[in-house]
C-alpha cells in the first residue's frame, strides 16, 4: 500500500489487490486504514520515481510507434495509426503489448479506439477492449461520468443534478449543459465521440526517417551492434538519396529485452549518408559510453533514426576519379572526436568585435555549416577597380592590434605588486603563483575601459591599464592594473592576463 | 673487386632497409672525408665546424623544414624533419609562452610554404590550458600571421583522451601541423605512445610538435628534441636607433637536447613578426642593441657624470649569466676618468 500526504493527512494513493480485498479504498486516511487493519504495510509515495518509470515505459513503447505521449501520472497514449499492420493487426498488437507488459511484471489495462477519449475510457472502464470506429457512443453510454475525462468539480455538480452516466449527459440538451457546466464538458464529449479532433502531443519529436531491425536472438556485443548499425545505415542511405539529403543528427535506439531503452545520439558537422562513416561515428560514441550501456540480457530491437537532415551537396570527382576534399576529412575527424569526447572537444576561434581582450575571441564548438563556394563575382564596371584590384583599395576589414599575447588566461590571475616606481607606472617586481619576478623592462600602459554598455558596473567600472613586462629572465607577460591609485579607498589590484612569445 | 662492390651494395641496401624500418633518413656523423664516397654528390654533406654530416639516403629536398637561422639549420643538417614527431621542451610552466611561440612560429613557416593553407590543430589537456593559458587567436594572428580560421583547438580533460585525439589527428594529411601540449612527465607518454605518434606523422607526412611544459627529457621516439626558453628581447628599432627600455621582437633561446646529427648547441633566435621569418641574433648585436641609457653630460662641472648603468663585461654568449645588481648600481672602476686621483675615503 502506498500513501501520500494530501491536505495534511496521510492518505492511501495506491493499493494492491490484497489490500483491496480488505475493503480499503483509495483516498482513505492511513489512520483509518490502520485502525481497520493494523498489519498493513505502508510505503511513502515517490512521484519522481513513478514519473521516471512511466518515461521508461514510454521509451519502451517506442517500439510500437514513434508517437508516444504521457497521460497524467499513470497512463500512456500510443498513436498506432498506420503501425498496426506491422504487428499483425489491432488485436495481435494489443495482445502483444499486454503480454510483454505482463511478463515484465506490470498490471496493464489497454484500450484501442479511433479517438483518444474513447480509448482512454475503454482502457480504464471497459478493460482490454477494441472499439471499432463508430461504436464510441455505444461504449460510452453505460460508463460513469469519470470516463469522460472531466474535472472532479464538474463531475460532482453533474451528479448532484442526477446525471450519473455518460449516456445521460449525451441525451441532455447541449446548450444548457454548456451554460451551466462550461465548455470543457462538451469538448471532452465531442472528442471522445470523434466529432472533434484531438491531437496527442508526442513526448519526442518524430524522426523523419528511421530504420529498425527486430532480432530473434538478442545481441550483447558492441561489435554486433556496430555491424547492425552499418546494415541499418545502408538501408538508410537509399532513403536519404531519394530525398537528396544527408543526416545531421542521428540517434540509435537500443531496446533491451527487459524493457530498458538506451538512446545514443551523434551529431555531424556536414550532411552524411555514407554507412561506413555513420558506423565510425557510432563506433566512437559506443566506445565512449562503454561503461554506461548495460547490455544485460541483450537488445532485441535496434533502431537507427535520422533526427534532422539537411540538403546533401553532391561533389563532382575530378578526372582521376578522386575527390580531394580536406574539409570533409576535418569535418569527419571533428565529428568523431565530438562523438567520443563531447561537443566542446573541438573548438574553433571566432573573432568578435570587441576591444576587451577576453571577449575579442570566442571559441565555439566546431560545426561546419554546409559550405558552398561563393559564386563567381561579376566583373566590375568601375574603371578604377579594373586598374587597381579591389584588394589594394579596400583596407582589410579588421585591423588587429599588434601587441597581443599569444596565450590568455581564462580568468586573469591576481598578482601581488608591492611597489611601483610611479603611481601610474609599471610594477618594479611582482609575485605571481608564489614566485617573485623582477621587472627588467616594461612598456605601456594601454588603457582598456570596460564595456559600459554591457556590464553591471556602468561607467564607474574600473578601467584596466595593461603593461607589457619583460622579467629578468626574458619572459614576457601581460599585466594590468584594475583601477587607479587614489581614485577610491581600495587600492587598485593587479592581474596577470597573458603571456607573450 | 666485383665481390666488394656487391658486398657494398648489399650493405647499402640493408642500411636503407634499416632506415626504412626506423623511419629515419640514414645519416651518420663522419670525420671530414678525404674523398667523397663514390655515388654521392659532393654537396650532400653540410659542413659543420669539425664534423661533416653525410646524408646517405634518398632524402627528398623538402623533407626538412628550414628554420631560416643558418647555424641552427646547419646543426640540424638541413632543418627539422617535416614528417616526424618533434619534441619541444620548456623547463618550467612559465616558459609556456616561449615554447608555444616557438612551435607556432615553426607552424607559421610551414603554412607559408603551403598554397591551400590547411588548418593547425592544437591539442592540450585541460590542465595545461588552465595553467599556461588558452591560445589567443588575435595574438597569434598578429605575431605569426595565422588566421583564426586556420586554427582548431581540442581540449581534452584527460591525457588519454588528448593522446587519442593526437593519434587520430596525426594521421590526417588535411591538417598542416598538429601541436600536442602536455605538462610534466606523465608515464603514459612513453616510448610506445610517442612511437605511435611518430609513425602516424611519418605516414601522413605532417609534423607533430609535442610541447612538454616542465617535463623531463625521457626516452622517446622523436628524432629531435629542442629545449626552448625565452631570451631577453632586443629593443625596438626606430629611425633614431634602438629605443631604450622598449621590448622588441620575441626572442627564443633554443638548445638542441637530442638529435641524431647535431652536436649540443645553443642558439638565440629572433622572430620577425612582419616577415614571419626567424633571424639569428649575433653575439655582438645584443650588446649593440642594449646600449646604456643616454644621459646628457654635465656642463657646469669639470668632470662629466659617469653614464648611468654599467659597462658590462659580457659573459660568453650562451651563458645567460646576468650582471649582479651591485655591479649595475655602481660605475665600474676603469670608467673613472684617469686624470682624477683616487677617491679618498671620507
User: What would the pLDDT profile of A352-393 be if each residue is shown by its tens digit?
Assistant: 888 888 888 888 888 754 343 344 444 444 444 444 444 444
What stretch(es) of chain B map to CATH 3.40.50.300?
A: 67-287
Tell me the pLDDT tens digit for each residue of A19-59. 888 888 877 888 888 888 888 788 888 888 888 888 888 88
State yes or no: pLDDT of A172 exceeds 60.
Answer: yes
Taking domain A2-45, whether its CATH number is 3.30.700 is answered by no
State whether A407 and B169 contact (CB < 8 Å). Answer: no
Are the Cβ atoms of A348 and B153 closer than 8 angstroms?
yes
B24 has pLDDT over 70 = no
Domain boundaries, chain A: 2-45, 48-193, 209-339, 407-499
Pick from A7-16, B42-51, B93-102, B240-249: least confident: B42-51
Q: Which residues of A touch B250 (CB under 8 A)?
A: 476, 500-501
Amino acid B56: pLDDT: 46
Rounded to an integer, what distance in angstroms lies between the CA atom of residue A152 and that of residue A156?
A: 6
Give CA–CA dist A109/B326, Å, rounded: 94
Tell me how far apart the alpha carbons of residues B125 and B161 are, in angstroms, rounded to a whole number: 8
d(CA B213, CA B92): 6
| Helix/strand/coil for B202 | helix
Which of A145-159, A325-339, B26-40, B169-183 reaches the highest mean pLDDT? B169-183
Taking CB atoms and an 8 Å cutoff, what residues of chain A touch B230?
473-476
Residue B170: closest C-alpha in chain A: A333
Confidence class of residue B164 from pLDDT cuts 50, 70 and 90? very high
As a whole number of angstroms, the distance between CA A281 and CA A265 comes to 10
Q: What is the pLDDT of residue A320?
A: 61
Quote the distance between the C-alpha of residue A469 and its chain's center: 47
Comparing CB atoms, the residue among A327, A470, A498 nearest residue B136 is: A498
Inter-chain CB proximity B97 and A473 less than 8 Å: no
> Is residue B325 over pLDDT 60?
no
Say what the pLDDT of residue A496 is. 94
Q: What does the pLDDT look like over A191-230, one tens digit per residue?
A: 888 888 888 788 888 888 888 888 888 888 888 889 999 9
**Measured between alpha carbons, how far is A411 from A409 in angstroms, rounded to an integer?**
5
Pick the residue with more confidence: B58 or A1?
A1
Give CB contacts under 8 A, 24+ apart, made by A198-205. A198/A115, A198/A116, A198/A117, A200/A67, A200/A69, A200/A77, A200/A79, A200/A116, A201/A69, A202/A66, A202/A67, A202/A68, A202/A69, A202/A79, A203/A55, A203/A58, A203/A68, A203/A69, A203/A70, A204/A62, A204/A66, A204/A68, A205/A307
Residue B153: which of A347, A405, A409 has the nearest Cβ? A347
Cα angle A57, A139, A68 (rounded to 5 degrees) comes to: 20
Inter-CA distances, A464 with A198, A411, B63, B257, Å: 62, 14, 47, 41
For chains A and B, what is the number of CB pairs under 8 angstroms? 172
Looking at A79-93, A262-276, B314-328, which range is the least confident one?
A: B314-328
What residue in A sits closest to B251 (Cα-Cα)?
A501
Check A476 against B247: CB less than 8 A apart. yes
| Residue A401 pLDDT level (bands cut at 50, 70, 90) | low
- Partners of B174 on chain A (C-beta within 8 Å) are 326-327, 329-330, 333
Q: Which CATH class is domain A209-339?
A: alpha beta
Identify the pLDDT of residue A245.
87
Contact list, B246 vs chain A (CB under 8 Å): 441, 443
| C-alpha pair distances (Å), A342 with each of A2, B157, B172, B321 | 41, 11, 21, 48
Whether the pLDDT of residue B176 is over 50: the answer is yes
pLDDT band at A135 (very low <50, low <70, confident <90, very high): confident
Q: How far is CA B8 from the centre of its chain?
A: 38
**Region of poorest pLDDT, from A276-290, A436-450, B53-67, B313-327:** B313-327
pLDDT at residue A478, rounded to an integer: 93
User: B249 by DSSP, 3-state: which?
Assistant: coil
Which of A61 and A387 is assigned the larger pLDDT?
A61
3 state DSSP class of A204: coil
d(CA B336, nearest CA chain A) in Å: 26
Give the pLDDT band of residue A399 (cuts 50, 70, 90). Answer: low
Answer whether A151 touches B (CB < 8 Å).
no
pLDDT, residue B290, reads: 47
What average pLDDT score do residues B49-65 get? 55
Contacts of A334 in chain B (CB under 8 A): 152
% of chain A residues with pLDDT over 70: 88
Task: Check if CATH label 3.20.20.70 holds for domain B67-287.
Answer: no
A474 CB neighbours in chain B (<8 A) are 229-233, 251, 253, 320
Indicate the SS3 state at residue A260.
coil
Q: Hey, which residues does B243 pair with through a beta bridge?
A: B236
What pTM value is reported for the model?
Answer: 0.71
The CA distance from B246 to the nearest CA of chain A, in Å, is 6
* Mean pLDDT score, B319-324: 45
Cα A175 versus chain centre, distance: 45
Per-range mean pLDDT, top range of A116-125, B4-13, B15-24, B191-200: B191-200
Q: Report chain A residues whose CB lies below 8 A from the CB of B119.
A: 330
Picking from B95, B97, B148, the nearest residue to A406 by CB comes out as B97
Mean predicted confidence (pLDDT) in A270-280: 87
Q: Report pLDDT for A324.
A: 59
Contact A474 B116 (CB under 8 A): no
Q: Is the pLDDT of residue B299 over 80?
A: no
For B75, half-sphere exposure in the C-beta direction (CA atoms, 13 angstrom radius) is 21
Tell me which chain A residues have a C-beta less than 8 angstroms from the C-beta of B243. Answer: none
- The mean pLDDT value for A407-420 works out to 90
Q: Give the A window 455-494 contacts with B, CB below 8 Å.
A: 468, 470, 472-477
Answer yes or no: do B165 and A329 touch at CB < 8 A.
Answer: no
- Chain A residues touching residue B98 (CB < 8 angstroms): 475, 501
A400/B142 Cβ within 8 A: yes
Of B4 and A472, more confident: A472
Residues A270, A289: Cα–Cα separation, whole Å: 23
pLDDT tens by residue, A248-260:
889 898 888 887 8
Among A37-46, A167-176, A346-355, B284-293, the range scoring the smallest mean pLDDT is B284-293
**Between B33 and B16, where is the model more confident?**
B16
Who among A405, A410, A474 is closest to B232 (CB)? A474
Chain B residue with CA closest to A444: the answer is B246
Using a CB-CB distance cutoff of 8 angstroms, which residues of chain A are in contact with residue B97? Answer: 405-407, 475-477, 499-501
Segment B266-284 mean pLDDT: 82
Least confident of A98-112, A212-226, A449-463: A449-463
Of all residues in chain A, the percent with pLDDT exceeding 90 is 11
Residue from A267, A263, A253 nearest A342 by CA: A267
Q: Considering chain A, what is the average pLDDT of its residues?
A: 82
- Cross-chain residue pair A326–B233, CB shorter than 8 Å: no
Query: CB–CB of A500 and B153 under 8 A?
Result: no
How do strand A129-130 and strand A111-112 relate by DSSP bridges?
parallel
> Is pLDDT above 60 for B52?
no
Is the pLDDT assigned to residue B25 strictly greater than 70? no
pLDDT of residue A458: 65
User: How confident is the model over A90-95, as a mean pLDDT?
Assistant: 89
- Whether residues B154 and A474 touch (CB distance < 8 A) is answered with no
Of B119, B142, B149, the CB nearest to A401: B142
Which distant-in-sequence residues (6+ apart) come within 8 Å of A386 by Cβ? Answer: A380
Residue A154 has pLDDT above 60, yes or no: yes
Cβ separation A329–B139 shorter than 8 A: no
Q: Which range, A128-142, B130-144, B308-322, has the best average confidence (pLDDT)?
A: B130-144
Q: B142 contacts in A (CB within 8 Å)?
A: 400-404
Count Cα neighbours of A238 within 13 Å in the Cβ-side half-sphere. Answer: 5
pLDDT at position A287: 86
Distance of alpha carbon A215 from alpha carbon A497, whole angstroms: 59
pLDDT at residue A414 is higher than 50: yes
pLDDT at residue number A367? 72
Mean of pLDDT values over A325-340: 83
Higher pLDDT, B130 or B63: B130
pLDDT score of B122: 95
More confident residue, A148 or A456: A148
Residue A390's pLDDT is 45
Name the percent of chain B lying above pLDDT 90. Answer: 28
Give the three-class secondary structure for A448.
strand
**Which chain B residues are closer than 8 Å to A496 by Cβ?**
none
pLDDT band at A499 (very low <50, low <70, confident <90, very high): very high
Q: Where are the beta strands (DSSP E) in B56-207?
A: 64-65, 80-81, 85-90, 120-125, 134-135, 151-156, 177-183
> Within the 339-368 window of chain A, which residues sit less than 8 Å (CB to CB) from chain B?
340-341, 344-351, 357, 360-361, 363, 366
Q: Name the burial class of residue B58, with classes exposed (0-12), middle (13-18) and buried (19+) by CB atoms within 10 angstroms of its CB.
A: exposed
Amino acid at each position: 500500500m502506498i500513501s501520500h500526504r494530501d491536505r495534511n493527512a496521510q492518505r492511501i494513493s495506491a493499493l494492491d489487490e490484497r489490500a483491496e480485498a480488505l475493503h480499503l479504498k483509495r483516498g482513505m486516511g492511513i489512520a483509518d486504514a490502520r485502525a481497520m487493519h493494523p498489519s498493513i504495510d505502508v510505503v511513502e509515495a515517490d512521484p519522481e520515481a513513478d514519473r521516471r518509470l512511466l518515461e521508461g515505459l514510454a521509451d519502451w513503447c517506442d517500439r510500437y510507434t514513434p508517437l508516444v505521449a504521457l497521460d497524467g501520472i499513470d497512463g500512456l497514449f500510443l498513436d498506432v495509426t498506420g503501425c498496426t499492420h506491422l504487428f499483425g493487426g489491432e488485436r495481435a498488437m494489443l495482445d502483444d503489448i499486454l503480454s510483454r507488459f505482463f511478463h515484465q511484471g506490470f498490471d496493464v489495462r489497454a484500450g484501442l479506439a479511433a479517438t483518444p477519449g474513447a480509448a482512454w475510457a475503454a482502457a480504464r472502464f471497459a478493460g482490454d477492449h477494441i472499439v471499432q470506429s463508430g461504436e464510441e457512443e455505444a461504449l460510452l453510454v453505460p460508463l460513469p461520468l469519470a470516463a469522460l475525462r472531466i474535472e472532479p468539480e464538474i463531475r460532482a455538480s453533474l451528479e448532484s443534478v442526477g446525471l450519473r452516466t455518460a449516456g445521460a449527459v449525451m441525451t441532455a440538451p447541449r446548450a444548457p449543459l454548456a451554460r451551466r457546466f462550461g465548455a470543457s464538458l462538451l469538448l471532452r464529449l465531442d472528442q471522445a465521440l470523434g466529432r472533434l479532433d484531438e491531437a496527442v502531443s508526442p513526448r519526442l519529436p518524430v524522426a523523419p526517417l528511421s530504420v529498425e531491425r527486430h532480432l530473434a536472438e538478442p545481441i550483447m556485443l558492441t561489435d554486433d551492434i556496430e555491424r547492425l548499425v552499418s546494415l541499418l545505415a545502408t538501408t538508410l542511405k537509399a532513403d536519404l538519396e531519394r530525398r537528396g539529403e544527408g543526416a545531421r543528427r542521428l540517434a540509435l535506439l537500443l531496446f533491451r529485452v527487459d524493457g530498458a531503452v538506451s538512446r545514443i545520439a551523434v551529431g555531424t558537422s556536414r550532411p552524411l549518408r555514407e554507412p561506413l562513416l555513420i558506423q565510425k561515428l557510432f563506433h566512437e560514441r559506443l566506445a565512449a559510453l562503454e561503461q554506461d550501456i548495460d547490455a544485460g540480457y541483450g537488445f532485441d530491437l535496434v533502431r537507427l533514426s535520422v533526427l534532422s537532415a539537411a540538403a546533401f551537396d553532391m561533389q563532382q570527382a575530378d578526372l582521376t576519379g578522386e575527390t580531394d576534399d580536406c574539409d570533409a576529412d576535418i569535418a569527419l575527424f571533428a565529428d568523431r572526436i565530438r562523438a567520443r569526447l563531447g561537443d566542446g572537444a573541438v573548438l574553433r576561434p571566432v573573432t568578435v568585435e570587441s576591444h576587451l581582450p577576453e571577449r575579442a575571441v570566442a571559441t565555439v564548438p566546431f560545426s561546419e555549416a554546409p559550405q558552398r563556394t561563393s559564386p563567381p563575382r561579376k566583373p566590375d564596371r568601375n574603371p578604377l577597380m579594373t586598374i587597381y584590384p579591389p584588394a589594394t583599395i579596400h583596407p582589410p576589414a579588421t585591423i588587429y592590434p599588434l601587441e597581443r599575447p599569444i596565450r590568455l588566461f581564462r580568468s586573469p590571475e591576481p598578482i601581488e605588486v608591492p611597489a611601483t616606481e610611479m603611481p601610474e607606472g609599471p610594477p618594479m617586481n611582482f609575485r605571481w603563483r608564489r614566485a617573485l619576478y623582477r621587472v627588467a623592462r616594461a612598456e605601456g600602459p594601454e588603457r582598456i575601459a570596460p564595456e559600459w554598455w554591457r556590464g553591471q558596473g556602468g561607467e564607474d567600472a574600473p578601467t584596466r591599464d595593461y603593461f607589457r613586462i619583460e622579467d629578468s629572465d626574458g619572459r614576457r607577460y601581460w599585466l594590468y592594473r584594475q583601477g587607479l591609485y587614489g581614485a577610491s579607498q581600495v587600492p587598485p589590484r593587479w592581474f596577470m592576463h597573458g603571456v607573450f612569445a | 673487386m666485383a665481390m666488394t662492390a656487391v658486398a657494398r651494395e648489399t650493405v647499402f641496401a640493408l642500411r636503407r632497409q634499416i632506415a626504412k624500418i626506423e623511419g629515419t633518413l640514414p645519416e651518420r656523423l663522419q670525420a671530414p672525408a678525404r674523398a667523397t664516397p663514390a655515388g654521392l654528390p659532393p654537396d650532400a654533406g653540410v659542413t659543420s665546424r669539425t664534423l661533416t654530416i653525410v646524408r646517405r639516403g634518398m632524402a627528398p629536398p623538402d623533407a626538412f623544414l628550414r628554420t631560416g637561422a643558418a647555424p641552427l639549420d646547419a646543426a640540424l643538417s638541413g632543418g627539422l624533419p617535416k614528417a616526424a614527431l618533434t619534441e619541444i621542451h620548456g623547463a618550467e610552466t612559465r616558459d609556456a609562452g616561449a615554447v608555444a611561440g616557438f612551435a607556432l612560429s615553426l607552424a607559421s613557416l610551414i603554412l607559408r610554404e603551403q598554397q591551400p593553407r590547411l588548418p593547425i590543430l592544437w591539442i592540450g589537456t585541460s590542465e595545461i590550458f588552465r595553467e599556461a593559458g588558452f591560445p589567443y587567436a588575435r595574438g597569434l594572428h598578429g605575431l605569426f600571421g595565422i588566421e583564426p580560421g586556420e586554427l582548431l583547438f581540442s581540449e581534452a580533460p584527460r591525457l588519454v583522451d588528448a593522446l587519442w585525439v593526437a593519434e587520430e589527428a596525426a594521421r590526417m594529411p588535411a591538417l598542416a601541423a598538429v601541436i600536442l601540449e602536455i605538462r610534466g612527465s606523465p608515464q603514459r607518454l612513453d616510448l610506445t605512445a610517442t612511437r605511435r605518434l611518430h609513425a602516424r606523422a611519418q605516414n601522413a607526412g605532417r609534423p607533430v610538435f609535442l610541447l612538454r611544459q616542465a617535463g623531463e627529457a625521457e626516452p622517446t621516439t622523436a628524432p629531435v628534441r629542442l629545449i626552448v626558453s625565452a631570451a631577453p628581447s632586443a629593443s625596438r628599432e626606430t629611425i633614431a636607433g634602438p629605443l631604450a627600455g622598449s621590448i622588441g621582437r620575441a626572442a627564443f633561446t633554443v638548445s638542441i637536447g637530442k638529435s641524431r646529427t647535431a652536436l649540443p648547441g645553443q642558439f638565440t633566435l629572433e622572430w620577425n613578426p612582419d616577415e614571419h621569418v626567424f633571424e639569428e641574433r649575433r653575439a655582438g648585436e645584443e650588446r649593440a642593441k642594449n646600449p646604456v641609457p643616454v644621459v646628457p653630460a654635465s656642463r657646469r662641472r669639470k668632470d662629466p657624470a659617469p653614464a648611468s648603468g654599467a659597462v658590462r663585461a659580457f659573459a660568453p654568449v650562451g651563458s645567460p649569466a646576468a650582471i649582479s645588481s651591485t655591479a649595475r648600481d655602481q660605475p665600474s672602476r676603469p670608467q673613472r676618468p684617469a686624470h682624477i686621483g683616487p677617491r679618498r675615503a671620507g
